[in-house]
């Protein structure tokens, strides 16, 4: 056997060993033997660069090169599933299917709903060609380089033995197992980095990393659950997934075909308890009509298939003891009560703090120090106390009920609560340390001034040293040339983002953009009356009052002058001004489909530039639909029913010339 033949043989063997280890959990060689074979292959490939193959097992480790993700359109839209939360809603779904199929018998496939990041994998001639995230369902990011590093995803299928379609798509979920999640958070804690809230966030952040080598080191996994294509082997979804497993894909062995509603409910009830024993996070059960012919007959709504539904498990609860309630001050001065408790495991992580939201919720819970309380994760992410645990004889603690504070826990200023607000806040925004730090961190954030070399730790260090007391102080930092250059570049950030970066209460990214495009300069906004602000579509009483109060402060006006002096952009650019018009003024526009000349986000910006309003759903008030390729049939049907005009991409561009 020559070296070229040996390369081919080693690749084939190592792909099989990967499958045995990661999918079958039945390795046939030791780790050392695997590593020796991989090393041999690596050395041979270095000697024969003409044999490079992106799907070689040696490429699993990933490259150090940064990857810029390209947005690509899905061949078939990746729709989301409708959610249901109880047996009555499952029964309703079951009955709707039966009625739509006119009483003909049907089976449903029940399978675990993995809590990760949806992925679409495309194979051609048994080789992985492309991996695309769900994105907005119509288009997603090409993350092929990162997905190649996930060892449970086969790069090459053994088509010599098994008859595999020439082209097919298989969808699934990219996950971070609990073990990888805990290891990663431990490393981040040791490095002083922010911890990931849950495995889903960690998996998503990892898959979107621009460095495939980082992805390869974090231990991602994948479960596949849906096979699509023009030449798929079977008429049943359950049968297709079993076949896909034989091709080399990790498909859950916990799928089950159910012939009755009772069988389905038994499956749901079983996994509601036993999911805690799984190595990965799950948050429900997916129920699919098994017959593909029946799926096609049932069809789709605008947002989801009529032949599938997701049953969501109730949030997991745990019982623990409340030890203390502290109060935190946020960037905008909002004061939040936080419960400090005995540590307890919840949804796979140890929890010892939980939000109590605001004074009203704190009062409704009637908490005392020492109470035994029930904690759950809202959306499986943020821990919150939902009440006392009445399953224990000794539920109540000792002492008087915990009261919401009247003064800022940091600076001592009397707290304020607006008439229409649920939260109390500290009005001492210019001299309250957490607000100063929060405002500085917000100013440098990606969607604001995007000063990427200045992070939270550096900001806190500079503040302690007296170098940073307000946002204008950034432009006086000169001792580190690299950081100073990064800060100087932010003077080119456009006005609408600068306005957002100021951190005015209630002025988020959209409100800042709206105000900037309406008033065109900071001077015009500073001199605007409440009545003039309220005339702007999307600006209500709360935002208008906040803007007025911000610019009524002499210190804030001085801050603006200091920022002007260093060259910050406080007017709309000539380019934006030239592009603005009232062509679409007063028109509500829905965007649908895939476009050639601009992305959907770019079209949203163009609509706003010309005075139009982006809306998400079609109604009788919709002015027209900007439609690209692959517009959803349900949207088209609704538009025709309501008499809403369909405008093509070329026609739209002609309108705004």
Q: Which residues pair with 515 in a beta bridge?
A: none
DSSP letter (8 states) at residue 401: P
Q: What's the average model confidence in pLDDT over 368-376? A: 90
Confidence grade of residue 60 (pLDDT, cut at 50, 70, 90): low
Structural contact between residues 228 and 288, judged by C-beta atoms closer than 8 angstroms? no
Q: Taking 90 as the threshold, does the pLDDT of residue 577 lie above it? A: no
pLDDT at 451 (0 to 100): 92
Structural contact between residues 325 and 340, judged by C-beta atoms closer than 8 angstroms? yes
Provide, rounded to the nearest whole percent, the portion of the chain with pLDDT above 70: 92
Number of H helices, E strands in the chain: 24, 20
Structural contact between residues 509 and 450, judged by C-beta atoms closer than 8 angstroms? no
Work out whether strand 139-141 and strand 71-73 pair parallel, antiparallel, or are unpaired: antiparallel
CA distances from 595 to 139, 365, 585, 649 (A): 10, 51, 23, 7
Work out whether strand 624-627 and strand 645-648 pair parallel, antiparallel, or are unpaired: parallel
DSSP letter (8 states) at residue 68: P
Domain 83-87+105-264+274-308: give its CATH code: 3.30.470.30
pLDDT at 381 (0 to 100): 61
Lowest mean pLDDT segment, chosen from 107-111, 545-549, 577-581: 577-581
Q: What's the average model confidence in pLDDT over 366-379? A: 84
DSSP letter (8 states) at residue 236: B
Task: Examine the residue annotation and report whether 113 is marked as an active-site residue of this protein.
Answer: yes
What is the CB neighbour count within 10 angstroms for residue 558?
A: 12
pLDDT at 463 (0 to 100): 94
Selection from 361, 370, 364 nearest residue 342 by Cα: 370
Q: Taking 80 as the threshold, does the pLDDT of residue 402 lie above it? A: yes
Structure-token pair, residue 183: 């290891």
pLDDT at 22 (0 to 100): 53
Lowest mean pLDDT segment, chosen from 357-371, 488-502, 612-626: 612-626
What CATH class has 581-655? alpha beta
DSSP letter (8 states) at residue 299: -
Structure-token pair, residue 558: 């001085």
Q: Which is catalytic among the residues 32, 39, 47, 113?
A: 113
Selection from 134, 298, 121, 293 nearest residue 204 by Cα: 134
Q: What is the DSSP string of 339-379?
A: EEEEEEEETTEEEEEEE--SHHHHHHHT--TT-EEEEEEET
Q: Where are the alpha helices (DSSP H) in 339-492?
A: 359-365, 433-444, 456-464, 481-489
Confidence grade of residue 491 (pLDDT, cut at 50, 70, 90): very high
Structure-token pair, residue 247: 């091709």
Query: What b/e readout covers 391-420, taking b as 16+ CB neighbours within 10 angstroms?
Result: eeeebebeeeebebeeebebeebebeeeee
Selection from 422, 425, 418, 473 nearest residue 451 by Cα: 473
Task: Tell me the pLDDT tens digit for each residue of 1-33.
Answer: 788 888 888 888 888 877 776 555 566 776 567
Domain 3-61: give its CATH code: 1.10.287.610
CA distance 386 to 378: 10
Lowest mean pLDDT segment, chosen from 100-104, 128-132, 136-140, 435-439: 136-140
Confidence grade of residue 63 (pLDDT, cut at 50, 70, 90): very low
Site of tokens 């990892």: 206
Domain 433-577: give its CATH code: 1.10.150.20
List the chain domain ranges.
Answer: 3-61, 83-87+105-264+274-308, 433-577, 581-655
* Reduced 3-state DSSP string for 318-350: EEEEEEEEEEEECCCCEEEEEEEEEEEEECCEE
CA distance 557 to 225: 57
């Amino acid at each position: 056997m020559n070296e070229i033949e040996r390369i081919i043989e080693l690749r084939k063997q190592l792909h099989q060993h990967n499958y045995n280890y990661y999918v079958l959990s039945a390795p046939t060689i030791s780790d050392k033997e695997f590593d020796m074979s991989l090393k041999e292959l690596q050395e041979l490939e270095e000697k024969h660069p003409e044999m490079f193959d992106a799907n070689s097992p040696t490429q699993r480790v990933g490259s150090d090169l940064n990857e810029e993700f390209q947005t690509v359109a899905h061949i078939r839209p990746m729709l989301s599933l409708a959610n249901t939360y109880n047996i009555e809603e499952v029964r309703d779904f079951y009955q709707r299917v039966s009625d739509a199929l006119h009483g003909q018998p049907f089976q449903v496939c029940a399978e675990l709903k993995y809590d990760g990041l949806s992925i679409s994998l495309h194979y051609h001639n048994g080789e992985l060609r492309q991996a695309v995230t769900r994105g907005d369902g119509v288009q997603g990011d090409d993350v092929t380089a990162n997905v190649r590093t996930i060892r449970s995803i086969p790069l090459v299928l053994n088509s010599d033995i098994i008859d595999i379609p020439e082209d097919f798509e298989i969808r699934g979920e990219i996950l971070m197992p609990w073990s990888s999640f805990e290891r990663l958070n431990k490393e981040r804690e040791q490095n002083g980095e922010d911890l990931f809230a849950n495995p889903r966030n960690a998996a998503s952040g990892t898959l979107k990393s621009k460095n495939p080598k980082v992805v390869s080191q974090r231990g991602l996994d994948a479960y596949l659950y849906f096979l699509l294509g023009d030449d798929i082997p079977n008429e049943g979804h359950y049968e297709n997934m079993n076949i896909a497993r034989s091709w080399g894909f990790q498909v859950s062995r916990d799928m089950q075909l159910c012939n009755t509603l009772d069988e389905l409910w038994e499956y749901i009830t079983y996994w509601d308890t036993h999911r805690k024993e799984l190595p990965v996070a799950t948050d429900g059960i997916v129920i699919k009509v098994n017959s593909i012919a029946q799926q096609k007959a049932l069809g789709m709504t605008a947002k989801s298939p009529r032949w599938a539904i997701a049953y969501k498990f109730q949030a997991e609860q745990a019982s623990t003891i409340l030890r203390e309630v502290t109060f935190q001050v946020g960037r905008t001065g909002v004061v939040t009560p936080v419960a400090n408790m005995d540590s307890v495991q919840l949804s796979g992580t140890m929890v010892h703090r939980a939000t109590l939201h605001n004074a009203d919720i704190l009062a409704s819970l009637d908490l005392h120090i020492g109470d035994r309380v029930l904690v759950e994760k809202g959306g499986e992410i943020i821990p919150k106390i939902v009440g006392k645990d009445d399953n224990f004889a000794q539920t109540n603690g000792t002492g008087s009920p915990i009261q919401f504070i009247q003064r800022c826990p940091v600076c001592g200023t009397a707290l304020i609560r607006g008439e229409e607000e649920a939260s109390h806040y500290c009005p001492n925004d210019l001299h309250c340390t957490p607000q100063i730090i929060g405002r500085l961190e917000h100013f440098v954030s990606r969607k604001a001034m995007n000063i990427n070399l200045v992070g939270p730790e550096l900001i806190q260090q500079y503040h302690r040293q007296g170098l940073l007391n307000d946002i204008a102080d950034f432009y006086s930092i000169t001792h580190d040339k690299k950081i100073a250059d990064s800060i100087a570049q932010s003077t080119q950030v456009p006005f609408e983002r600068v306005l957002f970066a100021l951190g005015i209460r209630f002025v988020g990214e959209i409100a800042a953009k709206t105000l900037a495009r309406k008033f065109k300069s900071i001077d015009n906004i500073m001199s605007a009356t409440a009545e003039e602000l309220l005339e702007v579509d999307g600006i209500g009483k709360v935002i208008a009052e906040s803007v007025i109060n911000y610019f009524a402060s002499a210190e804030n006006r001085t801050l603006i002058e200091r920022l002007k002096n260093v060259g910050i952009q406080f007017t709309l650019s000539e380019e934006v001004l030239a592009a603005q018009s009232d062509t679409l003024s007063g028109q509500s526009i829905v965007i649908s489909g895939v476009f050639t000349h601009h992305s959907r986000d770019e079209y949203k910006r163009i609509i706003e530039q010309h005075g139009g309003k982006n809306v998400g759903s079609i109604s009788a008030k919709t002015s027209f639909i900007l439609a690209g390729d692959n517009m959803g049939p349900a949207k088209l049907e609704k538009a025709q029913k309501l008499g809403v005009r369909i405008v093509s991409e070329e026609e739209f561009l002609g309108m705004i010339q």
